[in-house]
A and B are shown apart, each in its own frame.
Chain A
Amino acid sequence: MDIQFTEEQELLRSSVQRLLRDQYDFEARRKILGSEDGLSRRQWRAFAELGLLAAPFSEDTGGLGGGPLSTMLIMEEFGRHLVVEPFVETVVLAGGLIEQLGSEAQKQACIPDIIAGTKIWTLAWTEKSSRFDFVNVTTGALRDGEDYVLTGDKSAVIAAPWADYLIVSARTSGHRHDRGGVSLFVIDRRAANLDLQSFKTIDGRRAAEISLRGVRGQLLGREGEGVPALEACRDRAIGALCAEAVGAMSELNSATLEYSKTRKQFGTTIGSFQVLQHRMVDMFIAHQEALSLMQHLNLSLNTGEAGVARLASGAKSKIGYAGRFVADQAVQLHGGMGMTDELNIGHYFKRISSINIQFGDPAYHLLRYAQLDTAA
């Protein structure tokens, strides 16, 4: 199974490849990580200029109409280069939710700035005790005139320190486990009564704990429809994150193969040892399967097929385990070098570990895959 890409899609892929090859090598990335902000706004504008931030949006909202397949192509290349800038958070999560739920006025107000690269967004749904469950929300929202006022805490929100706007899930009715009582709100990250405590993540990004103590927000979509919207949003995010993981796995495999052909011990290249040959064959197989499943998922997202939720969970789990296997073995086969901050191998390991936590770990999604089986 191999997708026949259109000329436009191939063009998108090669232009992303060219941009990252020229401007986003490992050293450039290291400088970005070490900067005070921890991201490159210049790079972000370059993504905008190339049309990457417009690619998946529909044409009526000013996008290029590329949908999940363009996201897939971009994220696979981002995965190869370990891009830290918040494409998933801004374009796939926030952009996707606004496009799906927003009023015409909201779309007009928000999406052009995303596409132009002038505003960064993120989604704040996790709470201290929510784990991977969208329903488990304690942050509350009370109606006040046209707006709502939000009070509560959000946890480990990736990209929040960089963001201009947040989409926040909050409870408008019901108890803590009531599926129908969660709504989504747009808030200004610099709004009054919003406090942010930043920290670094294992993969070199920035995240924050967010405290909301009476923060004004604007409803996105309808009251009580937050959970199904978040679920659909997660499926798209999984499509993007799996593409990123597959890109990272592909780099790990080629770097490990290359190393095994040059590193000599016991008078020969370590790639000549059968035990390592078999290990690398298994890494190759893991990548092949992950690539196929990832493409299959993104094709299904693109056509909006029924049952895509189950497939998304299946892919997140399978590709999560495959990614961990490949990353583990890439570090192991590089020996001490794989443990260093200096070499890129460990950074791929950390990104894959981080992807595995975002939106639920492989064990969580394995269970969800089983639970969504209508035949069982």
Chain B
Amino acid sequence: MELALSAEDAAFRDEIRAFIAENYPEEMRVPNPETDLSKEQMLLWHRILHRKGWIAPLWPKEYGGPGWSITRRFIFEQETSRAGTLPPLAFSVTMVGPVIYTFGNEAQKRKFLPRILSGEDWWCQGYSEPGSGSDLATVRTKAVRDGDHYIINGHKTWTTLAQHADWIFCLVRTDPTARPQSGISFLLIDMKSPGVTVRPIITIDGSHEVNDVFLEDVRVPVENLIGEENKGWTYAKFLLGNERTSMAGIGRSTRYIDKLKKIVKAEIAADDPAHLEFLRDIARVELDVLALEATELRVVAQMARGIDPGPAASLFKIRGTEIFQNITELTHRAIGNYGLAIREHPVSANHFMPGPDYGHTASEKYLNSRKLSIYGGSNEIQRNIIAKAVLGL
């Protein structure tokens, strides 16, 4: 499905397609980029986009954005995702960047924004804590003022790719006496500070994506506070809104459905009754994608006319994650007995993996995608948001 594009926008789309075809690094085309690439490899495409000036479509021109219309931003998102390129690190570009240029001071903008754009700084997110998951406002990591510094003590968890990070943006409690939402501040912490410890969390697919981050008497200069003290919740909510808009994942789902079709064709004989069942299951999920894509296009068209989409992001998050979980499950089923096998991490050519190449990551994708309905605000929380904000319940 396509937006009805003007001639200029159509040319823009073709330009992006050609750029990806010519420039996307071959070595980044691995079975599972999120776990199989080194930090340096992950940054290859980031740097290419940066040189082209396309690294931060969302950002205003004055901070280094390309100055695209909403329609063009959407086209870019759609084309890069359909082509299966690894998106630039969301924690840097989509999350903390906009918080800094929206709520940060001039010095912070000058210091951090160029390094985010260039890929020099890798950011991670210090939001969740063991006791604060869905109920984020109860974060307990303490920040106590000591002259020109805050002293931080606490435990952040589910911190994605913290093992690579140079900086972490954290929600910390600066006023323990206020209402939970009112006592939180938004603080930028150098991961090299004494007292910061990263501990890997291995997930059920065997991979290392998330971590615990322990903060023990970490001294953070007051100049790293974003905006006002105790206003952090406002900035956090702003950021979460950005996190959820990208979760429809149409491009990714479309690619995985194409792959699933090839697997079904190769694995299941056309006269096997299971073949027809797969065709039906695939058709059903394809229609789910089509309906979500149409919804996304409708919202984009509204936004282009200046209409606030409201909590559409929650709808995208719920359906986008459910759809992708379903696709990974069908793919895992399609490879039959080889679904028993799983790659060992860290991935190495020394580990034998049975069956055809296209099945090698099916088990880990199936297991890993269970997280989608949990993270970024669980799907239960997203339904609460729609119930309250849309239905008025």
Residues of A within 8 A of B (CB): 126, 128, 130-132, 155-156, 158, 197-203, 207, 209, 264-267, 273, 275-276, 328, 331-332, 335-336, 338-342, 346-347, 349-350, 353-354, 357-358, 361, 363-364, 367
Is residue B344 contacting chain A, with contact meaning CB distance below 8 A? yes
B336–A132 CB distance below 8 A: yes
How many residues does chain B have at the interface if contact means C-beta atoms less than 8 Å apart? 47
A265 to B130, CA, bound (A): 11
Contacts of A198 in B (CB 8 A): 352
B204–A357 CB distance below 8 A: no
B339–A357 CB distance below 8 A: yes
Is residue B367 contacting chain A, with contact meaning CB distance below 8 A? yes
Across the A-B interface, give the 8 residue pairs with the lowest CB-CB distance, nearest first: A346-B204, A265-B135, A156-B337, A341-B202, A201-B340, A202-B342, A131-B336, A209-B354
A155, closest chain B residue (CB): B337
Contacts of A358 in B (CB 8 A): 340
B134 to chain A, nearest CB (A): 5
A357–B337 CB distance below 8 A: yes
* Overall SS of chain B's interface: mixed
B203–A341 CB distance below 8 A: yes
A311 to chain B, nearest CB (A): 20
Considering the complex, which residues of chain B in the window 74-103 have a beta carbon less than 8 Å from any beta carbon of chain A?
none
B204–A336 CB distance below 8 A: no
Is residue B230 contacting chain A, with contact meaning CB distance below 8 A? no
- Of the stretches B104-112, B187-195, B249-257, B374-382, the one at the interface is B374-382
The residue that B374 contacts in the complex, of A207, A336, A341, A350, with Cβ under 8 A, is: A336
A289 to B86, CA, bound (A): 44
Contacts of A202 in B (CB 8 A): 339-342, 363, 367
A265–B134 CB distance below 8 A: yes
A367–B158 CB distance below 8 A: no
Contacts of B374 in A (CB 8 A): 331-332, 335-336, 338-339
A264 to B135, CA, bound (A): 9
Residues of B within 8 A of A (CB): 128, 131-135, 138, 157-158, 201-204, 206, 210, 267-268, 272-274, 277, 332-333, 336-342, 344, 351-355, 363, 366-367, 370-371, 373-375, 378, 380, 383
Contacts of A266 in B (CB 8 A): 134-135
**Of A207, A209, A336, A361, which is in contact with the most chain B CB atoms at under 10 Å from its CB?**
A336
**23 contacting pairs across A/B (C-beta < 8 A):** A131-B267, A155-B338, A156-B341, A201-B341, A202-B363, A265-B138, A276-B380, A328-B370, A331-B370, A332-B370, A332-B378, A336-B210, A336-B371, A339-B204, A339-B371, A339-B374, A340-B202, A350-B367, A353-B332, A353-B339, A353-B366, A353-B367, A364-B274
* Overall SS of chain A's interface: mixed
Contacts of A197 in B (CB 8 A): 352, 354
A273 to B319, CA, bound (A): 22
A18 to chain B, nearest CB (A): 30
B135–A342 CB distance below 8 A: no
| Contact A335/B204 with A200-B344, A350-B367 known, Cβ cut-off 8 Å | no
B375–A336 CB distance below 8 A: yes
Contacts of A364 in B (CB 8 A): 274
Contacts of A267 in B (CB 8 A): 135
The residue that A339 contacts in the complex, of B203, B341, B342, B383, with Cβ under 8 A, is: B203
| Contact A342/B202 with A155-B354, A199-B341, A332-B373 known, Cβ cut-off 8 Å | yes
Contacts of A200 in B (CB 8 A): 341-342, 344
The residue that B378 contacts in the complex, of A203, A335, A347, with Cβ under 8 A, is: A335
A294 to B253, CA, bound (A): 37
A363–B355 CB distance below 8 A: no
A186 to B333, CA, bound (A): 30
Contacts of A201 in B (CB 8 A): 340-342
A339–B157 CB distance below 8 A: no
B268–A131 CB distance below 8 A: yes
B184 to chain A, nearest CB (A): 16
Contacts of B339 in A (CB 8 A): 202, 353, 357
A266 to B342, CA, bound (A): 38
Contacts of B363 in A (CB 8 A): 202
A200 to B364, CA, bound (A): 13
Contacts of B355 in A (CB 8 A): 128, 155-156
Sample of 8 further A-B pairs with CB below 8 A, known A128-B355, A339-B203, A353-B366: A131-B268, A155-B354, A265-B133, A265-B135, A341-B206, A353-B332, A353-B367, A357-B339
